[in-house]
Amino acid sequence: MTAQIISGTELAKTIRTNLADQAARLKADGIEPGLAVILVGDDPASHSYVKGKQKACAEVGIRSFLYTFPVTIEEETLLEKIHELNADPAVHGILVQLPLPEHIREWSVIETIAPEKDVDGFHPINVGKMMIGQRAFLPCTPHGVLAMVKSVGIEIAGKHVVVVGRSNIVGKPVGQLFLREHATVTYTHSKTPDLAAITRQADILIVAVGKARLIGPDHVKPGAVVIDVGVNRLENGKLCGDVDFDAVKEVAGYITPVPGGVGPMTITMLLHNTIEAARQLAAK
């Protein structure tokens, strides 16, 4: 039996219809949700992601403001811009597209964003609140992954979730979100010996490494839910995930494709957080 495909594109469409309604209602109350996006340098992938985010904003009725800077920008200039956006009442969410050039300290940039405008959920205050179960902006990709797993209607409590990858953006927080849902969570990474022996125990396998086709059918328990966060560009220009989709779909119970899987859900959760930020800031 082949796996059921969890389409991020379809799920994102449903959620965005609801978000567009919410944005319209806020607008009727005189609040137009606004997202400021800062893009540094000319990495083609970053430019493409930012374009996707702006297009999605326009579709649901969020104003977006784009600030582009050359790769040579000084950290201080970038921080000044963030301070300015922190104080701008038309801006409810601030997103600095990562990665940043090496001479800019990522943590310094993230910590300068006002936590109440941190729609990426990267500020240590929001990370800490998420860890202890307080209300906070959830990081977009982990939140999107959770929504995709919930969409198939399986019980998460008591399930074994194995996370491959331990980045601050995806691996670490996604495990925390599933722990909050009462799953048993195992983290694995590049130093984990015999990765397959552990991933084969997963009821829900979440892969966020950035290595094309790292996960094959031997890594997957029959019937498991497999969520592929990886986006890798092959030599032929095509995108592919960290999971060997064609082979693994013959073993898994559910699987997400790349493209059309987690990507559209990440953007959807960014829209969700921006609308929430607008609502909260307006209520202050």
Nearer to ligand GUN, 43 or 181 (CB): 43
Tokens 């929504």 sit on residue: 147
Going by C-alpha positions, the residue among 205, 135, 125 that lies closest to residue 163 is: 205
The binding site for NADP(+) comprises 165-167, 231
Per annotation, catalytic residue among 22, 81, 118, 120: 120
Per annotation, catalytic residue among 97, 203, 221, 244: 97
Least distance between ligand GUN and beta carbon 250 (Å): 30
Going by C-alpha positions, the residue among 145, 171, 131 that lies closest to residue 264 is: 145
- Is 120 marked active-site? yes
**Structure tokens, 144:** 């999107």
Q: Are strands 239-240 and 232-233 parallel, antiparallel or unpaired?
A: antiparallel
Among 94, 96, 127, 174, binds ligand GUN (CB under 6 A): 96
Nearer to ligand GUN, 188 or 266 (CB): 266
Rounded to 5°, angle at Cα 206 from 205 and 212: 110
Binding of ligand GUN by 239 (CB under 6 A): no
Least distance between ligand GUN and beta carbon 8 (Å): 14
- Is 88 marked active-site? no
**Interaction with ligand GUN in 140-159: which residues (CB under 6 A)?**
140-141
CA–CA distance, 28 with 31 (Å, rounded to integer)? 7
- Is 280 marked active-site? no
Per annotation, catalytic residue among 53, 81, 159, 221: 53
CB-CB contact of 163 with 175 (8 Å): yes
Phi, psi of 84 (to 5 degrees): -60, -45
**Structure tokens, 30:** 């005189």
Site string for ligand GUN, 106-125 (x = CB under 6 A): --------------x-----
Phi, psi of 249 (to 5 degrees): -65, -15
DSSP string, 79-90: HHHHHHHHT-TT
**Structure tokens, 83:** 């301070």
Nearer to ligand GUN, 96 or 240 (CB): 96
Candidates 1-9, 18-26, 94-102, 177-185: pick the segment binding ligand GUN (CB under 6 A).
Answer: 94-102
Least distance between ligand GUN and beta carbon 107 (Å): 13
Q: Catalogue the active-site residues.
A: 53, 97, 120
Q: Provide the binding-site residues for ligand GUN, judged by CB under 6 A.
A: 95-98, 120, 140-141, 169, 266
